[in-house]
Structure 1
Amino acid sequence: MQLTKSLTHTEADVMVQGSDASTLSHIQQRGVAAAVWQRELALDFSDWIRELNPENLPQFRSLVTVDALEKSIHAACDLSHTPPGKHRDMLAGDIAALGFIMSEIMESSLLHVRIEPVNTNACRKFHVDNMTARMLCTYRGRGTQIAQRGAEDTPITVSAGDAILLRGARWLGKEETTLQHRSPPIIGTGETRLLLAIDPGSDYKPEIVNH
C-alpha cells in the first residue's frame, strides 16, 4: 500500500506494508518514507498486556547493544514488577528481535531503546523525527497515526503489534520525507498505551523525546 506516489522522487512520500519482516528493509528504497510490518499479536498475549495494571508496565530508556537488549528489558520488567512468565518472555523476546532487525537495516549494533506507558496526548502534533530513522511498535492501546503532509485530517492508524520503520529528517540523501506521524490523542479516555521506540545509537541525544 502507498499513501501517495512520488513522481520525481525528490520527496519520500510512500508507505509500504507487508506481512513479512523483510518489508521493513524497503525503507532503503527510493521514495519510501515508512515501512510497516503488519503483525497480529497473539490473543493470549494481548489479553495479558491489556489487563496488566499500568503501574506494572515496564519503563526503559537507554543506549544498549543488541546482544544485551532482551536482558535489559527483563531487568526493566523486574523494576516495574511485571509478572514473570511466558507472556513477559514474549514481550522481551519480541523487543530484542525488533532491535536486531533495526540494527541490521541501520547497520548499528548500538541502539537507543525506549519503552514506556503513555496515558496523555504525548507528541500530539504530526511531525518528522529529527534523526535518521525510528522504529515504533505499540504493544497495548491504539497505534501510531501516520499522515501525508497537508492531509493531517485523514491519518492512518497503524494497528497494535505492527512494527513501523520511519525515515527521519536526517535520513541521508536528497529526498525530503513528507510522511508525518504522531501519538493518537487518548487523554480523557482512561487508556494507557505501551509504546516501543528504537533509534540508531549514533542518533541519540538526551533531549530527543519525540513519540
Structure 2
Amino acid sequence: MKISLLPVTSTPQPYSRVTQHPAELLRIFDTGTQVVRWQRCTNLVITTYLQQVTTSGLLISGFRTCLKANQQLDPIHLPDGPGRSALADDIHQLSVLYHDLLGCPMVGLRLEVLHNAMCPRFHVDRTGIRMTCTYLGPGTEWIDDVQVDRTRLGAGANGLPDTQSGLFTTDETSIEAASCFDVVLLKGTLWQGNTAQGAIHRSPATTPSDNPRILLVIDALWD
C-alpha cells in the first residue's frame, strides 16, 4: 500500500487525529500530534478465523518476528484455517505501510494474545512511533494531555491508581478508544523533539469472561 506525500508542518497541531484515509497517517509527523487513528472496517473473515483459533486453543501466545521492507509474513506463524491468509496479508500490508512511513530497513512485529490488560495504567512509551491494530477485543485507549498532569505518570503516581494519583486534572477527562481493525500510530518520547511529550495511552480493561484480545504491534528497527 502506497501513500501520497502530504506537507508536514512545524506549527503545533492537534494532539490526536481521526481519519478515514491512510494518507493522513503522515500527520503523526506534525509537531504536537501524538496520536493518529485510521478508522477501518471490520474484516469478518479475519474476525471469524481468530475467534475459531483462540476458542480451539490453536492460537495461545501469538508470535514475534522481524520483517524487511516488502517481506511477506510467513503464514507458518499462524494456525491453519480459513482466514489465515487474509490475516497474513493484512499484517503484510500494514508492515509495508509502516515501512513507507518511517523509511526503516526492518520492522519488529508482534501479535499478542491477551487475556488481561497488558498495560492497564496510562503511560507513555519510550519509542519513536509505534503502530498498533487490535483485531479482536477492545482497542487501545488514550487521553489528551491538556486534561492530565504528566508528572503523575509512572513513578510520579506514587503507587496510586490513575483515578487517585492526581493524573486527571478535570472530572470531565475524556478517554478515547480505537475500534477493532483501526490502525493507531502512537508517538513516543524517543521521537526527535518529543522528549517531554508522547501519547498518553493504556490497554483497555478486560474481564475473565472476555475472549482474548488480539493486538498487532509494529516498531521500527534501524540496525
| TM-score of the alignment, normalized to the shorter chain, above 0.5 | yes
Give the aligned length: 187
Do the aligned residues in 2 keep the contact of 1:136 with 1:163 (CA within 8 Å)?
A: yes
Per the TM alignment, residue 114 of structure 1 is displaced from its structure 2 partner at its CA by 0.6
Note if 1:147 corresponds to 2:149: no
Q: Which residue in the other structure is 1:127 paired with?
A: 123
Preserved contact between residue 121 and residue 187 of structure 1 (Cα < 8 Å): no
CA distance, structure 2, for counterparts of residue 52 and residue 174 of structure 1:
40
Distance in 1 (CA, whole Å) between partners of 2:93 and 2:37 is: 15
Give the aligned partner of residue 165 of structure 1: 185
Q: Quick one: distance in 1 between partners of 2:110 and 2:63?
A: 5
User: Contact 2:137/2:212 (CA < 8 Å) preserved in 1?
Assistant: yes
Residue 135 of structure 1 and its aligned partner are, at CA, apart by 0.2
Aligned sequence identity (%): 26
1:84 matched to 2:57 = no
Equivalent residues of 2:16, 2:144 under 8 A apart: no
CA spacing shift, 1:192–1:21, aligned 2, 3 Å: same
Counting strand residues as a fraction of each chain, which structure ranks higher?
Answer: 1
> Alpha carbon RMSD of aligned pairs, Å?
2.3
**Which residue number corresponds to residue 33 of structure 1?**
34
The 8 Å contact of residues 111 and 216 in structure 2, kept in 1 or not, is answered as yes
- 5+ long unaligned stretches in structure 1: 1-7, 204-211
CA gap of 1:169–1:69, structure 2 versus 1, over 3 A, is farther
**Quick one: distance in 2 between partners of 1:95 and 1:156?**
24
Answer whether contact 1:69 1:99 (CA < 8 A) is retained: no
Q: Who is 1:56 aligned against?
A: 58
CA distance in 2 between partners of 1:50 and 1:175 (Å): 39
8 Å CA contact 1:13–1:177 kept in 2: the answer is: no
Q: Any conservation in 1 of the 2:73–2:91 contact (CA below 8 Å)? A: yes
Aligned partner letter, 1:159: S
Q: 1:174 & 1:155 partners in 2: Cα distance?
A: 22
Residue 176 of structure 1, CA deviation: 3.7
User: Is 2:213 the partner of 1:193?
Assistant: yes
Larger radius of gyration: 2
* CA deviation after TM superposition for structure 1 residue 64, in Å: 2.3
- 8 Å CA contact 1:65–1:110 kept in 2: the answer is yes
Partner secondary structure for residue 32 of structure 1: coil
TM-score (norm 2): 0.75
Question: How far is 1:175 from its partner?
Answer: 6.8
SS at match of 1:139: strand
Letter in structure 1 aligned against 2:101: I
The one-letter amino acid paired with 2:54 is N
Is the CA contact (8 Å cut-off) linking 2:188 and 2:194 kept in structure 1? no
**What is the one-letter code of the residue matched to 1:155?**
I
Shift in Å at residue 35 of structure 1? 0.9
User: 2:156 maps to what in 1?
Assistant: none
Q: Deviation string for 1:102-143 (max 9, x for gaps)?
A: 111111020011102000121111111111110000001111
**Unmatched tracts of structure 2, length 5 or more:** 1-10, 149-167
Q: Is the 8 A contact 1:147 1:180 kept in 2?
A: yes
The 4+ residue runs of structure 1 with deviation greater than 4 A are: none
Structure 1 residues 97 and 155, CA gap change in structure 2 (3 angstroms): same
